[in-house]
Structures are given as C-alpha cells and as structure tokens.
Copies of this chain bind each other. A is one copy, B any other.
Amino acid sequence: MSDTRMPVQKRSMESKKKILDAGFALFCEKGFYKTNTIAIAKRAGVSTGAVYSYFKDKRQIYIAAFEDYLNGISSQLIIKLESRQPFQLIDFVDSWITFYMDLYADSGGALAQLRMMIVDDEEIRYHFSQLENRYFSNIVEILIKNGIVPNNLLERVYTCCILIDGLRQENSAFSHNGLNFDVFKQQIRESVIGLLNV
C-alpha cells in the first residue's frame, strides 16, 4: 500500500481509465456477453466494487469504453486524411482505403464487436446511432473543402463508405473462396473514384 497519497480526484480518474481500458480490451477479445465484470476488475487491477462506483452497470462500461475509442479513431482518420496536401482525389481515395483498413486491423475486433452490439442491444444502438453520421460528415467536409462537389454528395460518400467497408470485411471476417483480393480492391477503388470524380 503506497504511502504517498495522490490527489483523490486524480487517483479516481486513473481507476476509471484502467477500468475502461480493461473493459475495452476484454469486450474486443471476447465480446460483451462472454466478458464478466470480475474479469474487468481483475484486469484493471481494481476491486469489483470500484467498477460499480464508476459505472452504473456493465453496459455503461461498454458504452463509455467504445465512445472513448471511437472519439480517438475518428479524429485520427480525419487528421490523417486532411494532412495529405496538396489534395489529389486519387491519392485521397487510396489513403482513405489504407487508413480505414489499418484502423480496423488495429482495432482488434473492436469495430466488429460494436456493430454486433448495435444490432443486439437497444441502449447501445441508441447511443451509437449517430456514430457513422459523424464519419460521413467529416468526409463530406473534406471533399467540399477541396472542391469535390458533385450532386448528391452525401449519398455518394455513403456509397463509397459501404464499398470500402466491404473491402475491409473481405479482409477480416470471412474467407470467400476464390476471390482475388487485389482484383477486388482495384474494383472498389475504381468504383469509389468513379462516384466522386464526376
């Protein structure tokens, strides 16, 4: 038991952070239902009681942990995409695809888990329903800022997002026998460019 007392608030914040990190890691690894609160507490190095002093219940840990994560990555993606100057559409699309796939690869299943829980649980669905909208809006903004302004831009961006996410799915979840990934990627890339380059 360390003698040096830290400011109460700061220690408290650290415990909360540890719980969120532990919860997030476990939820990604094993999913919501196969993760229990005792395991979260253990991984976080705190007591089970502590978990319930910071969060009303298990679901709130989930929501808070994924909110943190999403805030992190969404800004990350946008920052990376904005930083590539001067703007070239083809370069932008390639970066988008690359960054998006890296993000998923690094997420260790986080985004797949979240998609699942959005289907499964009403409260989680409600909480994250605006999630993708932010992402779309950000992309739309960047495009407008750089003079890419076809009609129905929002819908175009959405279609692009679906295509890019399809590529991601192919890469991670299923193994679709006989599919040539490079050919597929090239098709997606061309479709996206076609949609934005009017």
When all copies of this chain in the complex are counted, the total is 4
Q: Which residues of B contact A175 (CB under 8 A)?
A: 129
* In the bound complex, CA of A163 to CA of B194 (Å): 14
Query: Across the interface, do A178 and B195 meet the contact criterion of CB distance under 8 Å?
Result: no
Query: Across the interface, do A176 and B120 meet the contact criterion of CB distance under 8 Å?
Result: no
Binds B, one of A14-22, A85-93, A94-102, A179-187: A179-187
Known contacts A2-B38, A132-B174, A133-B176; A166 and B162 CB within 8 A of each other: yes
Known contacts A2-B36, A155-B184, A162-B163; A133 and B177 CB within 8 A of each other: yes
Query: Across the interface, do A174 and B129 meet the contact criterion of CB distance under 8 Å?
Result: yes
30 residue pairs from A and B, CB less than 8 Å apart? A2-B38, A2-B39, A33-B120, A115-B119, A116-B119, A116-B120, A119-B173, A129-B174, A129-B175, A132-B174, A132-B176, A133-B176, A133-B177, A136-B176, A152-B180, A152-B187, A154-B178, A154-B180, A155-B180, A158-B179, A158-B184, A159-B188, A162-B163, A162-B165, A162-B169, A163-B163, A163-B166, A165-B166, A187-B195, A191-B195
